[in-house]
């Protein structure tokens, strides 16, 4: 909450009579600057002050009962009414309890920007140091999930080129073996040999000596 300096216009009127219009204008401008200019803080009305205190009491009771959503709403209402910086500290505590660490970090940093008292500054800085690594981890995990989602939405890579069935058969068929390595070639040779032996026996005739050969009885 910015300091509001009251301006005594009667005293300025006396200064105007004593020192002239220029000096009066200078003092008026000085008072305007010290009070915050066009965006100067407006002092609380008694009604606003009372409402802000009631909001703090509600928020404090809800926080002690671990009703952090209710406490957060009450503290936000009190801050809107009074603009007292300490409400920001309490808002940060509620957000931290609710797991909204990024919002809590923002509230603590806003409170530190108000130049609080040393004790309050120390507490707020302690909270900042505590939630900062948690915020960093949550952001990293969120980025990983976003990248994974993008990869899931990306079209799959094209399939590998396939060969036609005929080409595949040509590649898998073994080359023709030479004729002499096939079984039917040697079967034919055996038939020819047997036929020749039988023909030789028939032509020789007579009662020769019987010998047992590979192909049966043979007369010599």
Q: Which two tokens stand for residue 116?
A: 């609080």
- Which domains are delineated in the chain? 9-39 (no CATH), 46-151 (1.25.40.10)
Give the pLDDT band (50/70/90) at residue 82: very high
Task: Give, in order, the Cα–Cα distances in Å from 138 to each of 7, 67, 145.
Answer: 50, 24, 11
Q: Which two tokens stand for residue 143?
A: 């980025």
Region of poorest pLDDT, from 3-7, 26-30, 179-183: 3-7
* Phi, psi angle pair for 43, to nearest 5°: -65, 150
Q: Which two tokens stand for residue 160?
A: 């590998």
> How much is the pLDDT for 155?
75
Q: Which two tokens stand for residue 27?
A: 């003092």
Spatial distance between the Cα atoms of 102 and 140, rounded to a whole number of angstroms? 13
Spatial distance between the Cα atoms of 121 and 117, rounded to a whole number of angstroms? 6
pLDDT tens by residue, 154-181: 777 777 666 555 655 555 555 555 655 5
Spatial distance between the Cα atoms of 39 and 43, rounded to a whole number of angstroms? 12
> How much is the pLDDT for 37?
36
Mean pLDDT for all residues in the chain: 73
DSSP state of 182: S
Q: Which two tokens stand for residue 86?
A: 């300490």
Q: Which two tokens stand for residue 83?
A: 């603009």
Q: Which two tokens stand for residue 130?
A: 């505590």
Residue 184: count of CB within 10 angstroms of its CB: 8
Is 105:132 a contact under the CB 8 Å cutoff? yes
Say yes or no to pLDDT of 79 above 60.
yes
């Amino acid at each position: 909450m910015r300091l509001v300096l009251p301006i005594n216009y009667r005293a300025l009127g006396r200064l105007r009579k004593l020192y002239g219009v220029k000096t009066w204008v200078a003092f008026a401008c000085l008072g305007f600057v010290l009070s915050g200019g066009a965006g100067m803080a407006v002092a609380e009305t008694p009604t606003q002050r009372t409402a802000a205190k009631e909001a703090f009491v509600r928020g404090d009771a809800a926080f002690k009962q671990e009703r952090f959503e209710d406490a957060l709403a009450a503290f936000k209402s009190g801050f809107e009414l009074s603009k007292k910086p300490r409400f920001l500290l309490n808002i940060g505590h509620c957000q931290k309890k609710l797991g909204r660490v990024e919002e809590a970090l923002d509230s603590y940093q806003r409170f530190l920007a108000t130049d609080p008292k040393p004790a309050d500054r120390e507490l707020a800085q302690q909270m900042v140091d505590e939630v900062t690594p948690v915020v960093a981890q949550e952001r990293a995990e969120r980025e990983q999930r976003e990248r994974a989602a993008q990869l899931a939405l990306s079209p799959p890579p094209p399939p590998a080129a396939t060969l036609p069935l005929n080409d595949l058969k040509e590649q898998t068929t073994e080359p023709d073996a030479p004729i002499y390595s096939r079984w039917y070639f040697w079967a034919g040779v055996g038939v020819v040999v047997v036929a020749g032996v039988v023909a030789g026996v028939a032509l020789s005739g007579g009662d020769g000596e019987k010998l047992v050969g590979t192909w049966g009885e043979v007369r010599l």
